[in-house]
Chain A
Amino acid sequence: MARRRDWPETSVDITGLVDLAFLMVVFFILVGRITAQDLAPLRVPEPARPMTEPPGRDARLVVNVLPASPTATASWQVAGDTLPAEAASEPRLEKLVEAALEQNPQVELTVRADRRARWEEVRPVLSASLGAASARGLPQARMRLVARRAWESP
């Protein structure tokens, strides 16, 4: 009768690897949700040698201006709402900005518009900020226009 050869029992401890994988999955899920809330997929302007500054950590209200496309009309995305970029939506936009200012008068309106948006689609956002500041009795409206630094060859 042939005797079976006994192989030594081996094991690999993959606990650390699995822990790391779980952490990475949780990270991707959380970061994905946070960025999707404020960052609509659009291409912001990239001026040459921009006089921009880092966005900082001040309170902000982001208004995304999505341009018209063959399949959709231009729209504003703000605080989880999507409004069509038309005159009828301007009072609602102003109310949303005003509500943000009511919660925190230091809040800055961040205008994140696509480079192919038209002025007539962006102007109401600036007007809403001014109107909301005026309604709250603030002398100035603090805004920020989002741009991206173009790749520069060293």
Chain B
Amino acid sequence: MTRALSTRRARAARRRLGRRPTRAIALVSVSLIDIVFLLLIYFLVTGHFQRAEEVFPLLAQSAPAAEDPLVLAEDPLTVRVLSGSRGFVLGGEMAPAESAAALEARLHEMILGGSRGVLAPTHPVLIMPDEDAWWDDVVQGYNALLQSGLRNISFGRGA
């Protein structure tokens, strides 16, 4: 009774003042926030961190450089990458180096300063992988050549 009276009085007062009743506006964002949190949890669960990848720079000659007629072209040292992870065959050697570490050890001997040092670091090296050699083995061999100090490395068409 008292409440109805006060409401009536309030309406009358508003009418006197010429104002219309105002309504509070509210945006219900609860479900939106629920969805955002669900998305966040989904991305956190399905995403994964991965280690950064690095690169080996490789500069390949697209056209043969103008040759100096007074300089004898050097025969490249060939490194054959055997299929099936069977190792690497260096030059004309018969026994393959069974791993990249073994290849690196042999190359260290052949570089100037080694026990059989005949090769300069600028000596051309040609990597000749077998057609079905794993890319992993090719990269391991390439890395072994770089570790040995050789810098003039290119890839051949394959054995």
Contacts and interface: CB of A to CB of B under 8 A. Distances in A.
Contact of A18 (B36, B56, B133): B36
B135 A22 contact: no
Nearest to B142: A145
B60 A32 contact: no
Contacts of B31: none
Interface residues of B, number: 44
B60 A122 contact: no
A48 to B, nearest CB: 7
A28 interface: yes
A24 interface: yes
A54 B134 contact: no
Interface of A, secondary structure class, is mixed
Contact of B60 (A49, A115, A141): A141
Given A47-B100, A146-B53, A149-B54, A116 B60 contact: no
Interface stretch (B17-25, B111-119, B124-132): B124-132
Given A145-B56, A145-B142, A18 B47 contact: no
Interface string A10-44: 00001000100110110011001000000000001
Interface in B80-139: 81, 100-101, 129-136, 138-139
Contacts of B157: 123
A49 B136 contact: no
A145 B55 CA distance: 5
6 contacts: A45-B136, A52-B55, A114-B135, A119-B130, A142-B59, A148-B54
